[in-house]
Amino acid sequence: MRDAILAASPQVYTYPHRRVRPRTGLEEGDLYTKDGEKYFIVDSHMHYWNAAPSNWVPGAEQYAKGWIECFHAYQSLGPAETHWPIEKFMAYTEDDLMKDVFEDGHVDVAIFQPTYLKEWYAEGFNTTERNAALGDKHPGMFIANTRFDPRDGDNGLDELRRNVERYGSKGVKLYTAEWNNGSRGYKLSDPATYRFLEKAQQLGIKNIHVHKGPTIWPLDKDAFDVSDVDHAATDFPGLNFIVEHVGLPRIEDFCFMATQEPNVYAGLSVVIGGLMHARPKFFAKVMGELLFWVGEDKMTFGSDYGIWEPKWQIEGFIDWDYPSDEFSDFPRVTTATKKKILGLNAAKLYDIEVPAEFLVPAQAGAPAAKDDAALVTGT
Amino acid sequence: MSSRTTDAPVTPAPATPASAGVAGVTGAVEAALGTVRDPELDEPITTLGFVASCTVSAGGRAQVRLRLPTYFCAPNFAFLMVADAYDAVSAVPGVAAAEVILDDHFAADAINAGVAARAGFVASFDGEAAAELDELRAMFLRKAVLAGTDLVCRPLAVLGRRPAELAAMTLGDIPPSPELARLKRRRADLGLPSGDGTPLLIDPATGAPVAPDAIGLHLRRASLTRTGIEANTSICSGMLRSRYPHAVPAQPTPPALLTPPATVIPP
């Protein structure tokens, strides 16, 4: 079937800054079909990192080790048969990735999100260069996002420009908690960050993926505050802000903010990987809340590979529904909902051309949640 | 730390006479630790599995070791828990000296030394922190009030109570339950109205009754807040089990409100 599609439309999808040729060598089974429904899958948040001890910065070994062990603990929340030994987890190979993500994992396009952490990892944990080098070997399968750090000043602006020009990046991953020369984090609402957001927009960046996670500095501020995204999203209406991990552990603050900002999206990495298998009832509640507050048009799947393999997440989510009537006051989950979340929403954000047979009718699916509010909460 | 808010044990920790044995003091120390909560998860550190060990010497020296789900759990919350545990254990009659040690954490040295010296958070993180943590603690108490509102209201809604009816009820109208008692304590901790004659639904920031046109949103937000806290708790307990596989109950499910450490690092 894939061959037929490729034959019919040699440019199956195009990326904004470079034409790519369709993938080759794929078998029919690579295209994920379930119950007669065809899914175009974009893994919008995944990694190719190197956390091997040989990459640990001397003197910072305990942080480098603590970081990857923390990631590894997350993997334990997935099905036991998908757990890896820590040695593989520190430095999985290109072959591992291609098999887990594409061959077995059903993914059609994967978006690299870099994480530098150069204070702890000598070559960086997961840099734009490392990702793009892998992407170049497999044309059409990856999108290489880049990053910036407002504390890098003019040099950082130059690096951002070079990366966008060289790798055609349409998105950046911002790690606001990252350490940098003694500083242990920054806010999206900092003036220095606005300078970078302006430059990014000029360069053609559309999508700002914001990690909301471990914030260590300033220590006494709320470590997981999302209000800086609120400010930036209001002031940069031409950019999309994808809050990865939905602001966990502050989902409630994220939802309340997202419902007021049309350009804020929910990145589901960690939500599916961390809850769907380990805590299915909480997963249902979180999904229900996200569908209510954020809506199915603004939620994007990300496997967070190599933390979790995409295969079980995608197959499980396609089969998923609320487990009981207890969830009757949340928006319904339809096939269209799943198609949007698993790929079509991210395809729109990244201008990925999707063959017509994967699309959902414009009227399909539940409306965004706000209209339901009166029904659910009517007094 | 001076503003510790705790769940008073149903039966207060016994005032242990100095003559009581080590076992009695140890029991009292354990009970005292049960009043210390993870501020974000709103759950005792004992049921969360954060207390790794607790010993009392014949001379009354108490030593408590704490552990958290990850190496990078947020240091502000970690500091609060270590300091609160120190205060709670120090106050137990029969304890001559208290030592609380956080293990396996990137900021353990700074936190342990700061708490031992009664230095406060700012002094413990010289140059890196600018304010003490009282406001942070209050923020999470407000979240606990919202989540507790959902816990109390949801069973009533299942029985057919409409939102407008809930808004007309007082705390005294609600049948007694552990969830109700907890909600009252959280409101009292914040200085909010918590007597039987006060409204069931109040703004957790101001204590004012919820306006009629805001009731639906208020209840929806209470539900969302509870879900967020519960999701955190479930992830944190899973992470703790992964880190300390033999030290945590398979299903450390505290009653009613579940909540794990705010302290996890999403990848």
Whether A199 shows a pLDDT value over 60: the answer reads yes
Q: Which residues 281-320 on chain A approach chain B with CB closer than 8 angstroms? A: 282, 285-286, 289, 292-293, 304, 307
Give the model's pLDDT for residue B259.
34
For chain A, percent of residues with pLDDT exceeding 90 = 69
B58 Cα to chain A: minimum distance (Å): 37
Q: Look at A213 and A32; give whichever has higher pLDDT.
A: A32
Distance, CA of A195 to chain centre? 24
Chain A contact set for B259 (CB, 8 A): none
Give the model's pLDDT for residue A212.
77
The shortest CB-CB distance from A220 to any of B130, B220, B265 is to B130
> Phi-psi bin for A153: left (phi > 0), alpha (psi -120 to 50), beta?
left
For residue B9, cis peptide bond before it (omega within 30 degrees of 0)? no
B83 Cα to chain A: minimum distance (Å): 15
Domains and their CATH numbers in chain A? 41-357 (3.20.20.140)
Chain B contact set for A223 (CB, 8 A): 74, 76-77, 262
Lowest mean pLDDT segment, chosen from A232-241, A363-372, B49-58, B63-72: A363-372
Give the model's pLDDT for residue A223.
54
Q: Where would I find the beta strands (DSSP E) of chain A? A: 33-34, 37-38, 42-46, 109-112, 142-144, 171-175, 207-211, 240-244, 264-267, 299-300
Chain B contact set for A375 (CB, 8 A): none
Chain A contact set for B164 (CB, 8 A): 379
Q: A220 and B163: CB-CB below 8 Å?
A: no
Chain B contact set for A125 (CB, 8 A): none
Domain presence at residue B196: yes
Chain A contact set for B139 (CB, 8 A): 222
Chain A contact set for B247 (CB, 8 A): none
* A21 — pLDDT class (breaks 50, 70, 90): very low
Whether B63 shows a pLDDT value over 90: the answer reads yes
Chain A contact set for B138 (CB, 8 A): none
Lowest mean pLDDT segment, chosen from A34-38, A123-127, B47-51: A34-38
Whether A185 shows a pLDDT value over 80: the answer reads no
What is the number of domains present in chain B?
1
For chain A, percent of residues with pLDDT exceeding 70 = 84
Q: Which residues 353-372 on chain A approach chain B with CB closer than 8 angstroms? A: none
Domain presence at residue B241: no
Whether A43 shows a pLDDT value over 80: the answer reads yes
Whether A198 shows a pLDDT value over 80: the answer reads yes
Mean pLDDT, rounded, for A152-164? 97
Domain presence at residue B255: no
Burial class of residue B38, CB neighbours in 10 A (0-12, 13-18, 19+): buried
Q: A216 and B243: CB-CB below 8 Å?
A: no
Among A322-331, B31-40, B237-246, the range with the most confident prediction by mean pLDDT is B31-40
Mean of per-residue pLDDT scores for chain A: 85
* A221 — pLDDT class (breaks 50, 70, 90): low
The shortest CB-CB distance from A223 to any of B74, B234, B238 is to B74
Give the model's pLDDT for residue B198.
97
Give the model's pLDDT for residue A364.
47
Give the model's pLDDT for residue B3.
42
List, as one string, the DSSP characters of A240-297.
Answer: EEEEEGGGTT-HHHHHHHHTT-TTEEEE-TTHIIIIITT-HHHHHHHHHHHHHHT-GG
Q: B212 and A379: CB-CB below 8 Å?
A: yes
Amino acid (1-letter code) at residue B193: P
For residue A306, cis peptide bond before it (omega within 30 degrees of 0)? yes
Tell which of A216, A271, A291, A376 to mutate to test the B interface (max B CBs under 10 Å). A216
ipTM of the complex: 0.81
Mean pLDDT, rounded, for B37-55? 94
Q: How many Cβ pairs within 8 Å bridge chains A and B? A: 161
CA distances from A294 to A257, A300, A318 (A): 9, 11, 20
Closest A-chain CA to B124 = A219
Look at residue B173 and give its three-state secondary structure: helix
Domain presence at residue B212: yes
Closest B-chain CA to A274 = B235
Domain presence at residue B103: no
Whether A69 shows a pLDDT value over 70: the answer reads yes
Q: A252 and B221: CB-CB below 8 Å?
A: yes
Mean pLDDT, rounded, for A120-149? 95
For chain B, percent of residues with pLDDT exceeding 90 = 64
Lowest mean pLDDT segment, chosen from A21-35, B14-28, B214-228: A21-35
Q: A279 and B231: CB-CB below 8 Å?
A: yes
**Rounded Cα distance, A76 and A91, in Å:** 17
**Rounded Cα distance, B238 and B57, in Å:** 33
Q: A216 and B72: CB-CB below 8 Å?
A: yes
Q: A214 and B72: CB-CB below 8 Å?
A: yes
* A77 — pLDDT class (breaks 50, 70, 90): very high
Give the model's pLDDT for residue B155.
92
Could you tell me the two tokens for A34? 């379930």
What is the tens place of the pLDDT at every residue in A90-109?
999 999 999 999 999 999 99
Whether A342 shows a pLDDT value over 50: the answer reads yes
Whether B252 shows a pLDDT value over 60: the answer reads no
Chain B contact set for A73 (CB, 8 A): 69-70, 239, 242-243
Domain presence at residue B153: yes
Mean pLDDT, rounded, for A115-130? 92
What is the tens place of the pLDDT at every residue in A258-307?
999 999 999 998 899 999 999 999 999 999 999 999 999 999 999 999 99
Closest B-chain CA to A291 = B224
Q: A214 and B239: CB-CB below 8 Å?
A: no
* A31 — pLDDT class (breaks 50, 70, 90): low
Q: A255 and B163: CB-CB below 8 Å?
A: no
**Rounded Cα distance, B135 and B172, in Å:** 29
Give the model's pLDDT for residue A372.
40
With 0.90 as the threshold, say if the pTM is over it: no
Q: Look at A85 and B10; give whichever has higher pLDDT.
A: A85
Helix (H) or strand (E) holding B63, with range, is strand B61-66
Whether A249 shows a pLDDT value over 70: the answer reads yes
Q: B228 and A250: CB-CB below 8 Å?
A: yes
Contact A316, A106 (CB under 8 A): no
Lowest mean pLDDT segment, chosen from A14-18, A66-70, A323-327: A14-18
Q: Look at B11 and A379; give whichever has higher pLDDT.
A: B11
Mean pLDDT, rounded, for A166-189? 85
Whether A12 shows a pLDDT value over 80: the answer reads no
Whether B264 shows a pLDDT value over 60: the answer reads no
Give the model's pLDDT for residue A75.
95
Whether A52 shows a pLDDT value over 90: the answer reads yes
Closest A-chain CA to B134 = A220
Q: Which range marks the domain in which residue B163 is found?
A: 134-227
Q: A379 and B136: CB-CB below 8 Å?
A: no
Q: Is A227 on the interface with B (CB under 8 A)?
A: no
Q: A222 and B139: CB-CB below 8 Å?
A: yes
Report the interhelical angle of B134-158 vs B75-90 (nearest 10°). Answer: 90
Helix (H) or strand (E) holding A9, with range, is none
Mean pLDDT, rounded, for B20-26? 85
Residue bearing tokens 């998860």 = B41
Chain B contact set for A327 (CB, 8 A): none
Whether A363 shows a pLDDT value over 50: the answer reads no
Whether B265 shows a pLDDT value over 80: the answer reads no
Domain presence at residue B258: no
Whether A24 shows a pLDDT value over 90: the answer reads no
Q: A216 and B75: CB-CB below 8 Å?
A: yes
Chain A contact set for B43 (CB, 8 A): none
Q: Which residues 57-116 on chain A approach chain B with CB closer than 8 angstroms? A: 62-63, 66-67, 69-71, 73-74, 76-77
Give the model's pLDDT for residue A183.
72
